[in-house]
Amino acid sequence: MNAPPPRGLREEAYAMSFETFLGEYAPSSGPLRLGNWSCLDGDRPATRLEPQARNYRATLAIGDRICTTSAAAPGPVAALTSMLYDRGISLEMTAFHQVPAGERTATFIRGSDGLKSEWAMGLSLDPTQSALSAVIACANRLLTVS
């Protein structure tokens, strides 16, 4: 990465290999998976007076159930957390860091379900996909870490 990980995660990050870190903080498996993602009105220009909510649609797999869901929100991360909440998965982000990682973007999120907090990471060539991956990873860590 081109920058150090967030302060609350540095000790763990420096104590393990990058592959081990990815396996722990950016799990590719879990009960929650994100399929298709789209902004339905991304070509619509913002107004000069204020930002407008965009309409997003996603395919989510929660356990063995697959559903298509949508939300109106000012950005993709807010839309995804709203979609998760509507499906009974509570995730409040308490920290968000996005940094260059070579040609990719690394997104670090600390999230809470109201009982516990976990760090997670997303890594992608696209900054939005990196952030969405981090949200899913954080939700999976909260759902599976005891």
Q: What is the set of domains in the chain, with CATH numbers?
A: 7-42+53-144 (3.30.160.270)
CA distances from residue 98 to 16, 88, 91, 107, 123 in whole angstroms, order as listed: 21, 27, 18, 4, 10
Q: 25-81 pLDDT, tens per residue?
A: 998 889 999 999 999 986 766 665 566 789 999 999 999 999 999 999 999 999 999
Q: 84-127 pLDDT, tens per residue?
A: 999 999 999 999 999 999 999 999 999 999 999 999 999 999 99
Cβ-contact 24, 16 below 8 angstroms:
yes
**65-73/54-62 β-pairing:** antiparallel
Name the CA radius of gyration of the chain, rounded.
Answer: 15
Burial, 126: exposed, middle or buried (Cβ in 10 Å; 0-12, 13-18, 19+)?
exposed
Cβ-contact 118, 110 below 8 angstroms:
yes
pTM for this prediction: 0.91
* pLDDT of residue 146 exceeding 90: no
